[in-house]
A and B are shown apart, each in its own frame.
Chain A
């Protein structure tokens, strides 16, 4: 048995996991907060992405929007991460085999790499295109991949409940 599977099965037997599973209200409650957290993350990220694409707030410098929006993105991310972790602890054993869950984890990794590249490369020179209506191609590519990846994460996340193993 793979080590990860072994680990997931152990997590499944912990007190935390069973108490979330056995409670009638805890799981849906966590799910609702998780969804709202996603709204916080994806919604705020989408605003920045739409600005990078030149669809909204064209008069506002990109860096200023980023500075205003990103703290709230991180707050949303913290909420999403903690509730998401608890949800996957509750269903660790089944989630291990769930292909939608596996795809979602992979996509989450990719969606983390995307802003890392963006901030280390094109965003460093943001002062040269901060007020541009049409941002550099690489910035627009980052925006499109961010929107597509987050949308796919929502799709895969919802599918977890529909494809039980």
Chain B
């Protein structure tokens, strides 16, 4: 299924164009990095708040809620620019172990982080004593996103 989709994506006009152009890839990669910078900082601040290490003047739920547009916008931007890079070399990435690891980390990080942030934004932790769970979740989120970034960098080296 994923393989079929990748084959199709690689054969679309867009995929062929990105593969054949010598400027498309660097340009898309830079966009990916720009989103990464904003997204990474927002994730860091949200998780630091969950860990009681930053933004202490605001409530946990306010930080989670107000930075939600930045983290969601960032992840969408990264996903779309990432998808374009993938389209330019589907088979090269599909079989790349670093890419496979990155996607696995990405899916887990996406679920763990946004379940946490959306849950907190809705004011869930204020109902009961979930402080320790929140901190564990924030550490997991930071480690998972770090792994996504690290595996992403390794893609170019294997």
B149 contact set on A, CB distance < 8 A? 32, 35-36, 39
B54 contact set on A, CB distance < 8 A? 68-69, 71-72
With contacts defined as CB atoms under 8 Å apart, how many contacts are there between chain A and chain B in the complex? 96
Q: How far is the CB of A156 from chain B (nearest CB, A)?
A: 10
Say whether B41 contacts A32, CB under 8 Å.
no
A47 contact set on B, CB distance < 8 A? 41-42, 45, 67, 70
The digit string for A43-54, where 1 denotes a CB below 8 A from any CB of B, is: 111110010000
B146 contact set on A, CB distance < 8 A? 36
The digit string for B22-56, where 1 denotes a CB below 8 A from any CB of A, is: 00001001100110111111111100100000111
Q: How far is the CB of B48 from chain A (nearest CB, A)?
A: 7
Say whether B41 contacts A46, CB under 8 Å.
yes
The digit string for A69-86, where 1 denotes a CB below 8 A from any CB of B, is: 101100010000000000
Interface range on chain B (Cβ under 8 Å from partner): 20 to 34
B33 contact set on A, CB distance < 8 A? 35, 154, 158
A16 contact set on B, CB distance < 8 A? none
Whether B150 sits at the interface, judged by CB under 8 Å, is yes
Name which residue of chain B comes closest to A24, CB basis: B157
Secondary structure call for the B interface? helix
Say whether A50 contacts B70, CB under 8 Å.
yes
Whether A15 sits at the interface, judged by CB under 8 Å, is no
Name which residue of chain A comes closest to B66, CB basis: A57
Q: How far is the CB of A109 from chain B (nearest CB, A)?
A: 19
Picked from B41, B70, B153, the residue with its CB within 8 Å of the CB of A40 is B41
Q: A150-B37, A154-B30, A158-B26 are in contact. Are A44 and B45 (CB under 8 A)?
A: yes
Q: A69-B45, A72-B48, A158-B26 are in contact. Are A43 and B67 (CB under 8 A)?
A: no
Name which residue of chain A comes closest to B41, CB basis: A43
Interface range on chain A (Cβ under 8 Å from partner): 20 to 34
Whether A64 sits at the interface, judged by CB under 8 Å, is yes
Say whether B69 contacts A39, CB under 8 Å.
no
Say whether A32 contacts B150, CB under 8 Å.
yes
Whether A144 sits at the interface, judged by CB under 8 Å, is no
B42 contact set on A, CB distance < 8 A? 43, 46-47
A44 contact set on B, CB distance < 8 A? 41, 44-45
Say whether A43 contacts B48, CB under 8 Å.
no
A28-B157, A43-B41 given; 14 more Cβ-contact pairs under 8 Å: A28-B154, A31-B153, A38-B37, A41-B37, A43-B40, A43-B43, A43-B44, A43-B45, A44-B41, A45-B41, A46-B37, A50-B70, A68-B57, A154-B30
